[in-house]
Amino acid sequence: MTAAQRREQLIGTARGLFAQRGFDGTSVEEVAARAGVSKPVVYEHFGGKEGLYAVVVDREVRSLLALMQESLTGGHPRVLLEQATLALLDYIEQSSDGFRILVRDSPVGSASGSFVSIIGDVASRVEHILAAEFTARGLDDRAAPMYAQMLVGMVGTTGQWWLDAREPSKDVVAAHLVNLAWHGLAGLQPAPTLRSRTP
């Protein structure tokens, strides 16, 4: 195995352990044992558990941000909301271990951490969409940053729940999230659908 292959093997092994047990519950000894190497090999590649964890988290952050950025392709504000919601749920579906790593040691309610940073980045992207919508409706656009945090927080928290529940389907969860976000409790539709999924 080349050094690059060994590095990837260690990252993959550690990713699974960090997802299952978190940072504190994972040891260099266990990563090494599962990879079939000695502890010094892990230290040689990453300098320790902190370095290995940083690499794993950085990859997950880049992966999620890329999905979020690709999803916001434009169109009606409601469709943008659908796209962002589906992108997060897609990531959870495709990379459950990665999402567990991001939220386990930095839950949505905390003040710092990888997932919180991603949520903040998405909120700043949503902010200008909301500001334009508020202006068009004659509302004070200075409230847009607060509403952007509310929206992405709602999606992020629901994503944490859906990570384990997986019922109902992703499209149904997204449709209900968008229904609440777009219509509010007073205007909920009895059978919401996604415009972007309707032919």
CA 185, CA 171: separation in Å to the nearest integer? 20
Instruction: Please write the tens of the pLDDT for every residue from 107-163.
Output: 444 444 566 676 777 777 778 777 887 888 788 888 888 888 888 788 888 988 998
158 in Cβ contact with 45 (< 8 Å): no
Q: Could you give the percent of the chain with pLDDT greater than 90?
A: 38
Instruction: Please choose, from the candidates 89, 66, 56, 96, the residue with its C-alpha nearest in 3D space to the C-alpha of residue 157.
Output: 89
Q: Per-residue pLDDT for 94 more than 70?
A: yes
Instruction: Please write the tens of the pLDDT for every residue from 62-74.
Output: 888 788 778 777 6
Provide the pLDDT for residue 5: 96
CA 68, CA 118: separation in Å to the nearest integer? 9
Check residues 181 and 15 and name the one with the higher pLDDT: 15
Q: How many angstroms from the chain centroid is the CA of residue 70?
A: 14
Gyration radius of the chain's alpha carbons: 20
CA 41, CA 35: separation in Å to the nearest integer? 10
Q: Per-residue pLDDT for 77 more than 80?
A: no
pTM of the model: 0.76
Provide the pLDDT for residue 131: 85
Provide the pLDDT for residue 108: 44
In this prediction, residues 36-52 reach a mean pLDDT of: 95
Q: Which residues contact 69 (CB under 8 A, 6 or more apart)?
A: none
